[in-house]
Structure 1
Amino acid sequence: MSKRTEKTIVDIAEELKLSISTVSRALNNHPNISVKTKEKVKKMANKLGYRPNAMAAGLRNSKSRTIGLVVPRISMFFPATISTVIQNKLYEHGYHVLICQSNDSLEQEIALAETLYSTRIDALAVSSTLYTTDFSHFDIFKDNNIPLVFFDRVPKDYQAKVVRGDDYLGGYTVTEHLIEKGCKDIVHISGPLTCSLYVDRVAGYKNALRKHKIPFKKSRVFYHELTKENAQQACEKIFAKQPWPDGVFAANDTTAITILEYCRKLNLRVPEDIKIVGYSNDPRAEIITPTITSVDQFPSLMGERVAAALLDLMQQPVSNPQRYSEEIVPIKLIERASSATTVATRKTSSKKKVK
């Protein structure tokens, strides 16, 4: 089987008896080339199956018009929404986005960083894995003045642009909300503390307890990847013996939904016996019964700010060294039925007594 030979602008030029420079300009819609010639060149390009070499053009212009984007898992609601917004916003400015997922594997994240650098991307945006504590595999981008933006899961003291949610306020707000609803024994199911998100949310949880003079208990906090399976295991420990908690702060909505299902098996009423709050305002939280109180992290807004940061950095002189700068996206508690205030119902008769 013979190897397919790619057609080039040289082939087009030979077929049409034109100069290579004329063909190149026609394909790039140069104003000095007539409409008739442009149409003739493009028609021949289609006939020959010519494909423009974006990589070669990038080498000539020192720009690939391509941005790298690394996220933990594209299947999750929050990073999926952010990725879509980033891609759409950058496309409006003539950039294409290579979206890669690390699957929360540090090994894969390191390999992706190397691959994307070799691809000659113009900039890189990263939401790191749960276990990334050393960010030195991104040094190659800084050292070569390639704009670098971290978002959502971010380093604390790395010389780069950071766009993150207000996770401390989120943790504080959820915990205080449960306390104000009457909860005095609140469990917090957190992600691993190797990740910036959960360090901040746990700090908010602890400080809200402290403010309201409720003792912090290590036995009431669980640290693990926020999967359904891990949430079920946590429930088995939480409800193994009484007293059972009267409130649960879950660091994502998958965990909150799993806890709700577990409580049903125990005939625990939500919110009467136990109140539940999740995090990230996943659409599922609004359609389950009872609906689940959650924290909106405004992923679309974060995506817009990441795209804006990338565009801004790419316009700056390449000689400018990257420095740490931080932009915080707000959060908002969305109160729903799972943490509603319960009021004792009175039995009243609609029938009037007949004298």
Structure 2
Amino acid sequence: MGKRSEKTIVDIAEELQLSVSTVSRALNDHPNISAATKEKVRKMARKLGYRPNALAAGLRNNKSKTIGLIIPRISMFFPAAISTVIQNKLQEHGYHLIICQSNDSYEQEVALVNTLYSARVDGLAVSTTLFTTDFSHFDIFKNHHIPLVFFDRVPLEHNMKVIKGDDFRGGFTATEHLILKGCKDIVHISGPLTCSLYIERVAGYKSALQQYKLPFKKSRIFYQELSRENALRACEQIFARPPYPDGVFAANDTTAITIMEYCRQLNLRVPEDIKIVGYSNDPRSQIITPSITSVDQYPEMMGERVVAALTELLHTPPAAQHRYSQEIIPIQLIERASSAGEEVVKARPVKKQKKTK
């Protein structure tokens, strides 16, 4: 079969005996073209199977009306929830969204950045991989004054537009909650410390222990990709022999759920024998039994703020843009059955985190 011949506005003009400029204006809903002519042109366009060439139009006006989005994994609750909000909000502003996932591969992230630049997106929003420490591949957007916003997983050096969760407070609040419920031997399962999220959550965990005068034990903290398989391997070490911990703070809800299932196999009662707190407020944490206490990161708010930042940059001349800023989205502990019980320790005020140089 031969290659399908694409119909153009020239074909529509010939069929209707109209000028190419009239057809173009009709298709673009120009006010100087009558409603009858517009309808006639659109009807012929449908008949011929005409498809507007958005790329060509973008090349003419230097605008693609498209935004690129890079997230670690679409299967994860938090980035998936944010992606939905970003897409819906961008549509309200007349923009389309290209969603890409890096699969937590630095090499894939670099390739996606170059692909989206070549696709002439008008802006880019990124939640980086767990292992991104060199951000030079984003310079192509910065150097060409193309709006660039980092969110959730962000560069440690905030010399660009950043929207992030209050991860230090999240780590502190989760740990403090377990302490207030009487836990004195708390395990923390963290992500790798190449990622901004986990650096700050670990700092919050350590700060809570220090503030309540509990010892920090290296044997009670794990740094790993937060998958079910890795959670099971951590459980094998944590519960290899008594004494078992009386509290676990997991840096995501997948890990928290896995730990609870493992405890059930050992006939450890949750929350009577061990209390568990997760992170992200994944919907699964509400429906499992017992339900899991978790830290809500407000993905809707973060998604809305990402779009607000992008649209502000898109409508501000490069010379007037304030590209380098940081916005912190609050967190909230959602208490459920996995950490239930009367508080046996009095809460203390949170000490401010020292800024990391």
TM-score normalised over the length of structure 2? 0.94
- Equivalent residues in 2 for 1:47-86 (5 A)? 47-86=47-86
CA distance in 1, matches of 2:44, 2:133: 53
Distance in 2, Cα, partners of 1:252 & 1:306: 22
Deviation at 1:84, TM superposition (A): 0.4
By how many angstroms is 1:319 displaced?
A: 3.5
Q: Compute the displacement of 1:62 (Å).
A: 1.1
Is the 8 Å Cα contact of residues 158 and 326 (structure 2) preserved in structure 1?
A: no
Task: After superposition, give the CA deviation of every residue in 1:77-125 in whole Å (9 maximum; x if it has no partner).
Answer: 1111100000000101100000111111111111100000000000000
Structure 1 stretch displaced more, 311-320 or 211-220:
311-320
Partner of 1:210 in structure 2?
Answer: 210
Which residue pairs with 1:281 in the alignment? 281
Question: 2:106 corresponds to which residue?
Answer: 106
Aligned AA (1:109): E
> Aligned residue for 1:159?
159
Indicate conservation of the 8 Å contact 1:145/1:319, yes or no: no
Using the alignment, how far apart are the partners of 1:51 and 1:158 within structure 2?
43
What residue in structure 2 maps to residue 134 of structure 1? 134
Match of 1:269 in 2: 269
Q: What residue identity is the alignment partner of 1:301?
A: M
Q: Does 1:46 align with 2:52?
A: no
Instruction: For residues 284-334 of structure 1, give each alpha carbon's deviation from its aligned partner in whole angstroms, at most 9, with x where no partner exists.
Output: 111111110000000011001001111111011033466421000000000
Q: Could you say what secondary structure the match of 2:33 adopts?
A: coil
Distance 1:322 1:104 in 2: 29
The structural deviation recorded for 1:136 is 0.7
Match of residue 350 from structure 1: none
| Higher alpha-carbon deviation: 165-174 or 40-49 | 40-49
**Counterpart secondary structure, 2:232:** helix
- What is the alpha-carbon distance in structure 1 between the residues aligned to residue 174 and residue 149 of structure 2? 28
- The residue aligned with 1:311 is 311
Residue 180 of structure 2 aligns to which amino acid in structure 1? E
Which position in structure 2 is the counterpart of 1:194? Answer: 194
User: Which deviations, in whole Å up to 9, do the C-alpha atoms of 1:142-188 show, x marking residues without a partner?
Assistant: 00000000000000225321000000000000111101100000000
User: d(CA) in 1 for partners of 2:193 and 2:109?
Assistant: 19
Counterpart in the other structure of 1:228: 228
Residue 342 (structure 1) shift: 6.1
Contact 1:168/1:203 (8 A) holds in 2: yes
Distance 2:158 2:171 in 1: 24
Unaligned residue ranges in structure 2 (runs of 5+): 344-357
Q: Is the 8 A contact 2:232 2:259 kept in 1?
A: yes
State the alpha-carbon separation in 1 of the partners of residues 319 and 26 from structure 2: 34
Matches within 5 A, 1:106-125: 106-125=106-125
Equivalence for 2:351? none
Q: Which whole-Å CA distance do the structure 2 matches of 1:158 and 1:269 have between them?
A: 43
Q: Supply the distance in 2 between the matched residues of 1:256 and 1:2 (Cα, whole angstroms).
A: 56
Letter of the 1:229 partner, please give it. Answer: E
Q: Report the AA paired with residue 296 of structure 1.
A: D
Structure 2 residue identity aligned to 1:52 = P
SS at the partner of 1:97? strand
Aligned residue for 1:348? none
C-alpha separation in 1, matches of 2:325 and 2:183: 38
Helix, strand or coil for the counterpart of 1:319? Answer: helix
Once residues 9 and 69 of structure 1 are traced to their aligned partners in structure 2, the CA distance between those partners, rounded to angstroms, is: 32
Taking the aligned partners of 1:37 and 1:319, their CA distance within structure 2 comes to 43
What letter is aligned with 1:175?
Answer: T
How far off is 1:15 after superposition?
A: 1.3
Task: Give the superposition deviation at 1:25.
Answer: 0.2
Q: Conserved in 1, the CA contact under 8 Å of 2:253 and 2:279?
A: yes
Question: What SS does the aligned partner of 2:319 have?
Answer: coil
Largest Rg, 1 or 2:
1
Alpha-carbon distance in structure 2 between the residues aligned to 1:48 and 1:290: 60
Q: Judge conservation of contact 1:253–1:279 (CA < 8 Å) in 2.
A: yes
Distance of 2:316 and 2:157 partners within structure 1: 22
User: What does residue 352 of structure 1 align with?
Assistant: none
Matching residue's letter, 2:274: I
TM-score normalised to the size of structure 1? 0.95
| Partner deviation per Cα, 1:227-265 (whole Å, 9 max, x = no partner) | 000000000000111111000000000000000000011
Matched, 1:254 2:285: no
Q: Structure 1: which 5+ residue stretches go unaligned?
A: 344-355
Q: CA RMSD in A?
A: 1.1
Q: Is the CA contact (8 Å cut-off) linking 1:164 and 1:329 kept in structure 2?
A: yes
Check if 1:169 corresponds to 2:169. Answer: yes
